[in-house]
Structure formats: C-alpha cells, structure tokens
C-alpha cells in the first residue's frame, strides 16, 4: 500500500448513477447516500491507493472513519479484489474510488456501485466487525462485480443485478475463499425466488425483487450451462463476461443489451446469450429449478449439500466452481 496524504482523485462531477445495489441487509441512510456527496468525498478527502491486478482502488475512509480497524478493512478489500480479479482475469476497471463509511454495528452494511466518467463504490462497515464477518462477507465482491459490465437501459437492470448475484459466490469459490457447497446451497435456495409468478411479462417487463436478482441469476446460470454444453466444456459464461468487460471497459460505458449479448456470443462462438435473451425478455419462460439442479447433480438434504457425480451435468457443475489460477499478469496482481 502507498499512503497518499492529500486527496486528489480526478473524479468529475456526478452525472448518471450506473448501478445502485441495495444490500440484502439494511444499511440505513447517511450523508453519503446520494451520488453527489459520494463523489465529493472521493474527490476531497484523503485516500490510500491499493493496486489490484491491473486496476487501482482509491480507498477513502469517510471523515477518517474513527474507531474502524483499517488494517482489517484493507485486508478485506484486497481479498474481495482478488476474488473478482480471479473471475475476470483482471480487476474490472482501471480505477475505482471506494468510500468506506464507519457505523456503530458489528456487520458489513449496505453497498452501492456507481459509474459515470469514473467508477465508485460506497459501503458501510461496522466498528465492531470481527475477522469472521470480514471473511464471510459477500457484499463487497458483489459491488466489485458490478464494475465489470456496462450500463444497460433501466428495464434490463436484472441483467446486471442477476450477474452480480450469480458471479459473486462463484468468484470467491474460484479464488479458494468459499467452498463450492456454499455456492450451490445459495443457488438451490435462491433461484426459486426468481421464478415467474402470475402476470409475469418477462425479465425486461417485471421488475420485482425476485425477478431482478434471482431471475437474472437464473439467466446467467442457464447461459453458463448452455455455453459450456455448446463448446464441450471449452468455454463458459466466464469467457463471455471477460470479453464484455474488456470490450466495454466496465460500468462507465453505456451499451444496449444487444451489444452485451453480441459481444459475449462472439467470444464464445455461440448464440446462447442472444437466444436466451430473446426467450426470457418478454415472456415468463418458467424453469423447473429442481430438475435443473438434479441434472447438475446437486441436492440439499437436511441443510447439507450432496453431489451426484453421475448426473448428466455434473462435469459442468464442477467446471463452474473449480479453483482458477491467479491472473497471468502476475506483476500487476500483487495487491500491494
């Protein structure tokens, strides 16, 4: 880490908010809850620069964050950045400002990711968060995952929220920070919440919480399986998403959904993404979630995950969560 005594991040004035992510936990409002005050804090308050695999994270402790253990916070930030970089092959953006707001709690609170001419993240951290809570946290990886994709029209927000919901635990598993059984337990318990209900008009036209987060996650799971099947295991959604990230530069770009799908399809030499989008954007497209997980060879029994390695898609299941090597550009991946 290199300390910077004075602020000076070249953040421009706020224009559009790219993606606002509401935590599954409540975090409350504060004086940094709007984008304008967030960008002002990142521009005006002292920061510590963290190198993160091809990108820089400018960490600002809001108002000095009195009572917060900075050493533990920085370790947590490095671990989250490492997981996201493992999945995408690099840190998703060249530079992001990260505003850490201390509060009187023992948990990681709400977070939000923004994008305009510069990427930014705001997150609450309790003064009494212990090492276990930092290790188990999913929120910061979720927010960092949002940096990877370009902004899309608001009606397709499910594409971004579903992507972060799906990728966050997988990135942690691939980085060796989360057991794959946890990934699949969350999927088994969460994805039924994303199934269409009566009156559903498709993902682009049904903006409920379940459809936005878990319906979107189901889209990406089906895309992952479809690409892996079509390429005989050679390529998956991860390859499509890496290409989308590199081509767009991340969440400061404005794209159409068709651009996202076309870029991912070109990278995988398939039509899986565009085909799924056509099928799910304007119609309910229900899925037998239980049967899909049976095909993947994963079930939950009395709270424990059991695997069937003879299931038709067992190889794909293993491929999705298997550990990955660190990005190849090792010299830029030291997380100093």
Domain regions of the chain by residue span: 2-147, 154-321
β-strands 108-115, 119-126 pairing: antiparallel
- What are 123's strand-pairing partners? 100, 111
Q: Can you list the residues of the chain whose pLDDT is less than 70?
A: 1-30, 326-336
- Summarised one tens digit per residue, pLDDT across range 125-157 is 999 999 999 999 999 999 999 999 999 999 999
Question: Global pTM?
Answer: 0.89
**The predicted structure's pLDDT at residue 311:** 98
CA 328 to chain centroid:
21
**The predicted structure's pLDDT at residue 303:** 83
**The predicted structure's pLDDT at residue 34:** 84
**The predicted structure's pLDDT at residue 299:** 96
How far, in Å, CA of 111 to CA of 99, rounded? 10
Angle at 68 between CA 14 and CA 134, to 5 degrees: 90
CA 167 to chain centroid:
6
> Residue 335: what are its φ and ψ, rounded to 5°?
50, 55
CA of 332: how far to CAs of 83, 109, 146, 149, 273, in Å?
15, 30, 21, 21, 31
* Sign of the torsion angle spanned by Cα atoms 40, 84, 215, 124: negative
Q: How many residues does the chain have?
A: 336
Write down the residue that tokens 């159409």 correspond to.
256
Q: Burial-class residue 316 by CB neighbours within 10 Å (0-12, 13-18, 19+).
A: buried
CB atoms < 10 A from the CB of 97, how many? 25
**The predicted structure's pLDDT at residue 226:** 98
| % of residues, the chain, pLDDT over 90 | 84
**The predicted structure's pLDDT at residue 324:** 81
Contact between 81 and 91 under an 8 Å Cβ cutoff? The reply is yes
* Sign of the torsion angle spanned by Cα atoms 59, 64, 70, 73: negative
């Amino acid at each position: 880490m290199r300390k910077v005594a004075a602020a000076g991040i070249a953040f421009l004035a706020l224009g559009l908010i790219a993606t606002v992510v509401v935590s599954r936990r409540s975090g409350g409002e504060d004086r940094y809850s709007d984008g304008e005050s967030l960008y002002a804090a990142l521009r005006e308050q002292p920061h510590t620069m963290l190198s993160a695999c091809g990108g820089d994270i400018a960490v600002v402790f809001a108002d000095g964050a009195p009572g917060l253990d900075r050493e533990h916070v920085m370790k947590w930030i490095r671990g989250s950045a490492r997981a996201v970089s493992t999945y995408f092959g690099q840190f998703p953006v060249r530079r992001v400002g990260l505003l850490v707001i201390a509060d009187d709690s023992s948990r990681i609170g709400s977070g939000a990711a923004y994008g305009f001419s510069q990427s930014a993240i705001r997150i609450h951290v309790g003064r009494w968060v212990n090492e276990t809570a930092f290790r188990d946290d999913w929120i910061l990886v979720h927010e960092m995952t949002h940096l990877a994709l370009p902004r899309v029209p608001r009606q397709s927000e499910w594409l971004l929220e579903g992507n972060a919901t799906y990728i966050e635990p997988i990135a942690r598993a691939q980085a060796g920070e989360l057991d794959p059984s946890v990934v699949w337990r969350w999927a088994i318990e969460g994805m039924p919440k994303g199934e269409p209900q009566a009156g559903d008009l498709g993902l682009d036209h049904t903006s409920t919480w379940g459809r936005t987060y878990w319906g979107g996650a189901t889209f990406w799971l089906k895309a992952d399986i479809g690409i892996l099947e079509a390429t005989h295991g050679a390529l998956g959604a991860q390859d499509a998403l890496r290409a989308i990230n590199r081509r767009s530069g991340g969440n400061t770009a404005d794209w159409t959904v068709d651009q996202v799908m076309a870029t991912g399809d070109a990278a995988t030499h398939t039509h899986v993404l565009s085909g799924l989008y056509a099928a799910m954007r304007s119609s309910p497209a229900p899925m037998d979630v239980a049967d899909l997980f049976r095909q993947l060879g994963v079930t939950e029994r009395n709270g424990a995950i059991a695997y069937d390695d003879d299931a038709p898609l067992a190889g794909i299941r293993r491929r999705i969560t298997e550990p990955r090597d660190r990005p190849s550009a090792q010299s830029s991946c030291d997380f100093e």
